[in-house]
Structure 1
Amino acid sequence: MLGIYDVYKGPGNIEPALPGAAQFPISDPFSAIAAMASVTKSLSFGVTSSTTYEHPFSLARRFSTLDHLTRGRVGWNIVTSYLENAAKNFGLDTQVPHDVRYAIAEEYLNVTYKLWEGSWRDDAVVQDRNTKQYTVPDRVRRIDHVGSVPSALTECN
C-alpha cells in the first residue's frame, strides 16, 4: 500500500483503517522477503507493487535482486494504485485517471520485460578470474526506451 486505505465508509476516510491497522502501517516487503528467503527453501513470495508511482528501472532491479535471493520464488502482483491519498503521497493533487493508469501499466510492463529479458544476455556474466573479466561488454545492451513512462536508458543490473 502506498497510502492509507481511505475508501471504506466514505472517500478520504482513514479512520476505519487506523485502529485495526488495516493495510497500514506497512513495511517495504522487499526487505522482509529477502530475510525470509534466507531461512526457507520451498516457500514462495508475492509482492504487490504499483506501476503508477515507481520508475520501472528501480522496480526491475529490486525484483531481479529478489529473484536471485529467492532462487526464483518471487512473483509480482501488478496494480495501478487507486487510492487518492497514494497519489498525494507522491506529490499529485489527485489520482491519475483509471484509463491513463492502465495505459501507463501496459507500457511499464513492456519496459520491465525489456530490462529483464533484453538488456543482459544469459551468457553476459563470465566471472573469469584469469582475464579479470566479470562481464562481456557486448553482451549487455541498452534498451533506450522512449515513451510516456520515465525513460529507462541504462542497463538493468
Structure 2
Amino acid sequence: MALDYLRQAVYGKNINSEYVSGHGSAPKPVKEDEWKSFDKQFFGDMSGGFTLVETSAEDMAKIEELLEVKPGFFTSPYVIKTKKECCEKCGRRNNFLDVVTTGLRVHKPAFLIDVFSGKFGHILNSQEHQVCVCYGCGTQLPVDAAKYSAPKPCTGSQKPRACYRWNF
C-alpha cells in the first residue's frame, strides 16, 4: 500500500506491481543485499567520465532546513555521481541539494522525509530522464549533471537514515 502511494506521488497515476515488473524505470523497493550491490557499483565504477561529488555539510544543513527536519536527520551526506560537476550557467557545484530542490517542486517535504527515512524500504528510482534543476539559479541541469545519487556509506556502527537512491 505504501509503495503504491509512492508510485502515485512520483507518476501522478496509479501504477501497480504488474506495471513495475514490465517497466524497469519505476521506483521500486529493493532488498538490502541489492542495495549494497548498487553501493559497490556506485562507488567503485567511475568509467564513462564520472566523478563523485559529496554534498557539503552546509548544503546538507540546507536540505534539512528545506525538509523542515531537525539538524542531524541525515546521518551521512549524500554523494552524486556526475559528468558535469558545476552548473554551466551559474557555476555552482552540483550536489544532492539540486535533487532535493527538484523533488520539492513536485512533492511536499513530509513525503520526501518518508522516502528518505525508509518508510517505503530501500527505494531505487531508475527513471531514465528525470529532470534536475540547479539550486542556485533554477536552470535545468544537463542530463549527465546529476545522473546518480546515494547516501555516503557510514563508518562503524552508524546506519544511514536515508534509504533512497536515484540511479539510472
TM bin (shorter chain) = under 0.3
TM-score between the two structures when normalised by the length of structure 2: 0.27
Q: Which has the higher contact order (CA 8 A, sep 6+)?
A: 2
Greater C-alpha radius of gyration: 1
